[in-house]
Amino acid sequence: MNKAIEWINDYAYLFQKGAFMYFRHTPPKHYLGHVVEGKVPVIILPGIFSRWALLKPLADHISLLGHPVYIVPKLGNNTGDIPSSSKKVLEVIEENNLKNVIIVAHSKGGLITKYLLTHDNTNHAVKGLIAVATPFHGSSMGSFIPHHSTKELGADSGIIRYLESHNESNNKIVSIIPEYDNHVWNEKGSYLEGALQNVSVKVMGHHRVLGSKEVQNVVMDWIEKITKM
């Protein structure tokens, strides 16, 4: 019964914030207008069927610290395949000549970034990834959703196996793991072997984790730590 309540609470959060994210197309001016010297650029990436504004609570705080915050408009609702999505992120990096980038990503956004770190980060522009509730080992939930893009997230999908077999970039990744994740159906959850850090937080819900003060503090802390590495 408790898990059922957490499902309801998580979807209530998603519907509330989700309605907003579809109306918010342009990020606040301070994302690129309030920049403090020495603060590295941060790119925010949403999960599947989501837009950047679902991460706005996190992005706002990152911006207020003086980091230039970038979004990837071409991702749309993030239903494209992971390799092509990685190229879209790379375009933003190259078009803006970004260096020492930290990516803060939710769910599928973390998989896109791991692919980028593994396959497309040839100029080492991306310094690290802070992944929130990312299914690094896939999720069996994908088989219950009749959409082509969810099949890619299945535990047996080719791209998941590819990413699991390439662990050379794991030491650049901080994985934030909710206490209960109603979308990541896998025994390993969001735990990543060889990660820079696996951080468990006392938050219930795949989407609610984005609105957590505890998660916000962890993200801010690790942005500063990765910047100094």
Domain extent listing, the chain: 2-228
- Superfamily (CATH) of domain 2-228: Alpha/Beta hydrolase fold, catalytic domain (3.40.50.1820)
Sorted by sequence, the CB contacts under 8 Å of residue 147 that are 6+ apart come out as 79
- Using alpha carbons, select from 142, 167, 205 the residue that is nearest to residue 9: 205
For the ranges 131-135, 161-165, 176-180, 182-186, which has the lowest average pLDDT?
182-186
Residue 55: Cβ within 10 Å count: 27
Residue with tokens 């990543």, as numbered in its chain: 192
Q: What is the pLDDT of residue 145?
A: 66
Q: CA 31, CA 36: separation in Å to the nearest integer? A: 11
- Determine the pLDDT at residue 18: 76
- Split at pLDDT 50, 70, 90, the class of 146 is low
Average of per-residue pLDDT values in the chain: 93
pTM here is 0.95
Residue with tokens 């019964």: 1
Taking the CB of residue 130, how many other CB atoms lie within 10 A of it? 29
Query: Where on the phi/psi map is residue 194: left (φ > 0), alpha (ψ -120 to 50), or beta?
Result: left
* Dist. CA 181–CA 8, nearest whole Å: 13
pLDDT of amino acid 8: 92
List the single range of 34-38, 42-46, 182-186 with lowest mean pLDDT: 182-186
Comparing CA positions, the residue from 3, 4, 81, 70 lying closest to residue 33 is 70
